Structures are given as C-alpha cells and as structure tokens.
Amino acid sequence: MSNRSTYFRTDILSGAVVFLVALPLCLGIALASGAPLFAGIIAGVIGGIVVGILSKSQLSVSGPAAGLTAIILAAIGTLGSYQTFLVAVVLAGGIQIVLGLVKAGTISNYFPSNVIEGMLTAIGIIIILKQVPHAIGYDVDNEGDFFFIEKNTGHNTFSALIDAVNYSHLGAITITLVSLAILIAFNKVAFLKKLKVVPGALVVVIVGVLINEFFKLSGSSLVISQEHLVSLPVPKSFNDFTGQFSLPNFAEITRPDVWVVALTIAVVASIETLLCIEASDKLDPLKRYTDTNRELLAQGTGNILSGLLGGLPMTSVIVRTSANINSGGRTKTATIAHGILLLLAVVSIPAILNKIPLACLAAVLLMIGYKLASPAVFKHMWKSGKYQFIPFIITVVAVVFTDLLEGVAIGLVVSVFFILRANLKLAYFFKKEEYHEGEVITIKLAQEVSFLNKAAIKQTLNHLPAQSKVVIDATDTFYIDHDVVQLIKDFLNIGSRDKDIRVSLVGFKDEYTMEFSSHVSSN
C-alpha cells in the first residue's frame, strides 16, 4: 500500500486544518500588500493544487508569503497599476523555471542546520507574538503581517502587544481560552489523542463559531464583531465573482522597471522557498528529502498561472507547512486538499466562513508557534555545543527583530564564521602539552583538510621539538587540499631534516603520494 493511501484520511483532515489557517493568512497578506483581497485566495488555491501536484515535497504548503508583502506594496506603487504588477509576477515565474533548469536549487544544501533550526524557532516566536493580539480581540495589525515594525500602525511587535492588552475584548479571550483548552486536551487526553476522525483544530473552529453565535442570540456584550472575524469577499452574482479576477497588462512587458520587479520577486521567492523546503524536510517525521530544483520549477509554474489569473506571487510557506505537519499531514494529498477546500469555500460558502472568529484560529497558531519554539529546542541546541548554539540563538534574535531573509542572512554569516573557526581547529587532533623531546607525536588528520587549515598545520609542524618521532595519520581522511599536501612535502624534505625529526606517514591515499626522503617511513 502506498504512502498516499496509507495516510489518506489523516491527510484530508490535515488539509482541512491548513485550509482554516491559510484562509485568513491569504486575505491578510493581500490586504498588507495593497492588492485585491481575492488575489490572496487565487495564490492560495494555485499554491495548494498546482504547486502541490507538481512539487516533489510531500509536506510543504505554498501560497502568498508575508516576506513578499513589502516588495509587492512598493512594486504596485512604482509600476502604477496592479495589472502591470501581474506582468512582473508572470515573468518572475519564468525566471524561477530557468533557475530550476540550471539546478540553482542545490544552494539549499549549504544552509547550516543551526540556522534552519534558528529560523524555525524564530518563526514560532513571531507566530506567538503576532497572534496574541488576535487572540485577545485587538487585532489592528493585518493577519499575516510578520514584520517587527508594523506597517499599519508604525508600532513594533512589543508595543502592539501592550496596546492589545490595554484594549482587549473579553469575548475573544473567552473563545481563545476555550480553544486552547480543547487543543491541549487533544494533545494530552489519551482518548482524544487516539480519536483520528476529527482533529482538534476543526473542533476549535466549530466551537468558536457556536460560542459567538450564542453571544449574538443572548444579546451578550461578549459578542465578537465582524472586524474580528474572517472577512472573505462575498460576491452577489456570477459577474461579481468573475470580476474579482484581474488580467496582466502585457503591453507593459518592455518596461525595465517591470523586469527589475520580476527579478526581485523571483530571487526573494526562491530563497524563501528553499529555506522552507529545507525546514520542512527537517520537520518531516518520515525524514524524506525534497528535490529543490523540481521545487523551483513547480513554484515558477504556479507563479506564472497566479499572475495570469490576477493572484499574488507565492512561495513555500513555513507557517502553513508547520500547521500541516502538526495536524498529521504526511503526503502532498494534504496540500492539494487544502487548495481544493479554499476553492470550494470561496465559491460556495463565503458567508458561513465569515462567522469564524480570528480568536480560535489564533489559538491554533499559538499551539503551532509553541511547538516550533518549545523550551526543548533551546535545551537541545545548548547541549549541541557553542558552535551550534551561538549561530542558532543569533538567528532567532535576528529573525524576530528584522525579517526572515535578513535574519537568516545574519545567522548564515555567524554560522560560517564558526564553521571556519572550527575547521581551523579541527584539521587535526593533537595536544601540544602532551609531548616532550624524544617522545612519539601523533598528528591525526581530520576527514577533510582544506586550504583554511594550512596556517594551523604549518604552525604545528614548525613548533615540533627536535629529534622527535612524528606520525602523521591520514587513515580517516578523504580529502587534503593541494596546498596542505605541498606543505607536508616541504616539511618531510626540508623541515624535518633541519631538526632531525623522524616522520612516519600512515593511511595516505595514492593520489597524495609523496617524494619520501630517507627520513620518512610510510605505512
């Protein structure tokens, strides 16, 4: 039995949860981008169905991304119209296809795991910080805005939290607390954990709607008003529905600024996608790996289609992907199901969906955020040592206080610094305080010895005591840089003679064969 059929039921249920999470995010990101609300839904549907089918990733979920909102908002203003912007989206998709064909997706292999862990943890913290206002009923900020400096108010994340506490709504808090209790019960109570017929997130949404409807019928002051509910466009006729689609104005395709926007979107969307794919593979309980070049081809195709229909550009998105994994999704069936549900919902039941309180969806996201940024993650990274923990924690702080790409870039710089530092120190294993004149000194080379290690090895060889016996062991080494090979040759033929040092070489492969002198023995 294939994986897809094995997990079909849980995938469908997970797709339903991702649909509920994605719906307000699609709308919120469109609003924050200065685009028509329906443009976010178009991107979500295509990201789910088209990219879901074409991608080799079993878990990632694509759709409009918060990381592109600032670029989209500025681009629409610069280009003068949304229709001209759509031309750039189509071109960006074409550029992504080219990137996939030239195998640019392999860049994801060079993202250090501590930076990816830091990015995931930071996303978890951001989700929690951004969802608290929605959870307590003071959601001035758009759903889907994940920037530290908020565009709507000019406040930062922490000042917005203070405002939210000061102007909180008791009805929203009530629904959030009930929702969290339900979600915790589904995670902790043995009977509910085994109940696979319906996930806790779906129960939360149903209960949230029922509670607010009860508040309305009873005339309670706890009733949640429309601005704190899902706000999906409700067309009154077929013409109203079709009027929500926009067509790109290809007469503007020769404009240089259109191509600049297209290239910017292609590069940023591709990097965000590759980061998310790397993160989703790390979170995958089945430990599968995604063909990143195929992913760029799928994303490019999705963006071309989204641009042609009037949708926003898309990427693989970590928030929806995390929701998918945490809800039990195990194959791409969940991703495709979420896209189909988005399509059916906006066509058939927008008025019903507009009864869903953002507070209960916030509760679902709060649980997702906690799982991504749990104390266990920090403990694990701390135990991994400073070379892992420092880049991890700097990435966390940088992503939280800037944005995803800037934060990851800072984390990468720090991680590369520590990689180089560790590489310099771990080219060989040798403690200088353990030797005295006349003793045998063993220098055991690491698996990989690069040109970066040349200075450290040179210093060690230069400080070896006279008349000692030295064993240079390359038994476990599969690569030695040419410069290091030449350095060892020079030591064998000149440096060791000057100090009357007897040298033995162990485990050197044929390609590193040296011109041994009479001072050298080889094993």
Residue 329 is predicted with a pLDDT of 94
What is the crossing angle of helices 69-79 and 8-32, to 10°?
Answer: 50
- Residues 198-214 as b/e (b if ≥16 CB within 10 A, e otherwise) read ebbbbbbbebbbebbee
> For residue 295, which amino acid is it?
E
Residue 513 is predicted with a pLDDT of 59
Strands 479-480 and 520-522: what pairing?
unpaired
Per-residue pLDDT of the chain (523 residues; tens, 9 = 90+): 456 778 999 999 999 999 999 998 898 889 888 899 899 999 999 999 999 999 999 999 999 988 888 889 899 999 999 999 999 999 999 999 999 999 999 888 778 888 999 998 998 898 888 888 888 887 666 555 556 656 555 666 666 677 667 778 899 999 999 999 999 998 888 887 777 677 888 899 999 999 999 999 999 999 998 888 988 888 888 888 888 999 999 999 999 999 999 999 999 999 999 999 999 998 999 888 899 999 999 999 999 999 999 999 999 999 899 999 999 999 999 999 999 999 999 888 898 999 999 999 889 889 988 988 999 999 988 988 888 899 999 999 999 888 888 899 999 999 888 877 766 655 555 554 455 555 788 888 877 787 777 777 887 888 888 888 888 888 888 778 777 888 888 888 888 888 888 888 888 877 665 544 444 555 5
Q: How many residues does the chain have?
A: 523
Residue 497 is predicted with a pLDDT of 85
Which residue, 253, 301, 395, 342, is CA-closest to 50?
301
> For residue 267, which amino acid is it?
V
- How far, in Å, CA of 477 to CA of 365, rounded? 47
Residue 70 is predicted with a pLDDT of 83
Q: Could you tell me where the beta strands, DSSP code E, fall in 337-439?
A: 428-429
- How far, in Å, CA of 228 to CA of 209, rounded? 12
Tokens of 53: 């089918």
Contact 162, 129 (CB under 8 A): no
> For residue 273, which amino acid is it?
T
- Give the three-class secondary structure for 111: coil
Record the pTM: 0.76
- Residues 229-251 as b/e (b if ≥16 CB within 10 A, e otherwise) read bbbbeeeeeeeebeebebebbee
Residue 355 is predicted with a pLDDT of 93
